[in-house]
Amino acid sequence: MRAKSAPVEQSLALRTLVFIPAWNEEASIDGVVADVRTHIPDADILVVDDGSTDSTAERARAAGVLCASLPFNQGLGSALQTGYLWALREGYDFCAHLDADGQHPPAEVARLLAEVQANRADLALGSRYAERTEALPGAEIEGEDYKPTWTRTIGINVFRFILTLATRQRFTDTTSGMRAANRRVMKLFSENYSPDFAEIESLQLAVREGLRVEEVPVRFLERQGGASFLTPLRSAFFIFKGLIVILVGMFKPRRHAEAER
Ligand SMILES: Nc1nc2c(ncn2[C@@H]2O[C@H](COP(=O)(O)OP(=O)(O)OP(=O)(O)O)[C@@H](O)[C@H]2O)c(=O)[nH]1
Ligand SMILES: [Mg+2]
C-alpha cells in the first residue's frame, strides 16, 4: 500500500519574489540586498543582472540570492520582463521590484506588497508625489530625499498629465520603478513589456486591460553609488518617445485580461 503523502505546508503558503534589475551597480547591490532581507524577510530575492561589466553579478551570487544574468545589456524593460517571467514560471503569488541603486527603500516596497497581498490592487506603484493622507510615510528611513533634476521634473509633469488623460485615472508618478504585483500582472507583463524604459507604457497597458493599478505614497532616496543613465539629452528623447508610445497605446487592441481572471 502506498504511504499517504504528508501535507506539504510550503505549497499552501503564499510566495513572494522581490527582483532587482541591475546594470553596473556594484557600489550599491550588497546594501540593497541586505535591506530587502531585513524588511521583506519571507521573500525570495532575484537580481536581474542586465549584462553588467562590473562585479554586480558576482556580488549578488556571493550574497546568496538568485541571479539571472542576461548575456548583454538589453535595457531596463528587458530586465524587468525577465523578473516578471521568472516570478510567473516559478509559481510565485506576488512579486515586487526595486532599483539596485539604493533609491528605493525596501521598507516602502513592503507597504506596496501589503496592498496587493490584501487584494486591494493588482499593481501597486510607489509614488513620490501622491498626496499623503497620513503621517509622512517612511519618515524613519535614513537617507537624503530624492531630488529630481529640472529635466526630470518637466518629464514627470508631462507624463503625469498625458497618462492621466489617456487612462482617465489619476497618476502622479508614472516613471516610478518601485512596484508590487500579483499573478494577473505577471502574466500580462511577461508577455508584453518593451525592452527599454517602459514604465509609462506598462501602466497604460495595465489600466487598459482592466487591472487595478493603485499609487501608494512613498519616499525615494538619492542614489547610493554608480551613475544615472538619464542625461538631459536622453531625458528629452525619453519625453518625446513617451508621448508617441502613449498615443499609439490608446489605439492598441485590448487583450481583455479580466476574462482571464
Ligand atoms: N539605465 C539603465 N538601468 C538599467 C538597465 N538595466 C537595468 N537597469 C537598472 O534599472 C534601475 C533604474 O536605473 P536608473 O539609471 O537608476 O534610472 P532612474 O532611477 O530612473 O534614474 P535616476 O533617478 O537618475 O537614478 C537601476 O537599478 C539599474 O541598475 C539599463 O539598461 N539601463
Ligand atoms: Mg535610479
Q: What is the dihedral of CA 109, 15, 193, 99, to 10 degrees?
A: 30
On the question of pLDDT at 24 being above 70, the answer is yes
**Closest CA to ligand 1's atom 2:** 76
Q: Are 249 and 204 in contact (CB under 8 A)?
A: yes
What pLDDT score was predicted for residue 139? 65
Averaged pLDDT, 51-75:
98
Q: Give the H or E element holding residue 18.
A: strand 16-22
Ligand showing the shortest atom-to-Cα distance for residue 176: 1
Nearest Cα residue to 86 out of 70, 68, 99, 107: 68
Is the confidence at residue 28, as pLDDT, over 60?
Answer: yes
- Please write the tens of the pLDDT for every residue from 72-101: 999 999 999 999 999 999 999 999 999 999
pLDDT given at position 9: 46
CA of 100 to the centre of ligand 2 (A): 8
**pLDDT of 156:** 87
| Dihedral of alpha carbons 101, 107, 110, 111, sign | negative
pLDDT in tens, 131-189: 776 666 666 777 777 777 777 788 889 999 999 999 999 999 999 999 999 999 999 99
What pLDDT score was predicted for residue 2?
44
User: Which domains occur in the chain, in start order?
Assistant: 14-252 (3.90.550.10)
Ligand 1, atom 14, residue with closest C-alpha: 228
> Ligand 1 site: residues with CB under 6 angstroms?
21-23, 25, 50, 73, 75-76, 79, 99-101, 103, 177, 223, 228-230
What local confidence, expressed as pLDDT, does residue 204 receive? Answer: 95
User: In the prediction, which pLDDT does 68 show?
Assistant: 98
Give the cell for residue 203.
501602466
Grid cell in block for residue 188: 500580462
Entry pTM: 0.88
Q: What single DSSP character describes residue 260?
A: G
259 has a pLDDT exceeding 50? no
Torsion sign, CA atoms 79, 253, 127, 116 = negative
* Residue of 49, 55, 76 best suited for mutating to test ligand 1, as the one with most atoms within 8 Å of CB: 76
**Banded model confidence at residue 253, pLDDT cuts 50, 70, 90:** confident
Contact 47, 100 (CB under 8 A): yes
Q: 99 C-alpha vs ligand 1 centroid, how far in Å?
A: 7
- Rg of the Cα trace of the chain? 18
Residue 198 has pLDDT above 70, yes or no: yes
User: Which amino acid residue places its CA nearest to atom 28 of ligand 1?
Assistant: 22
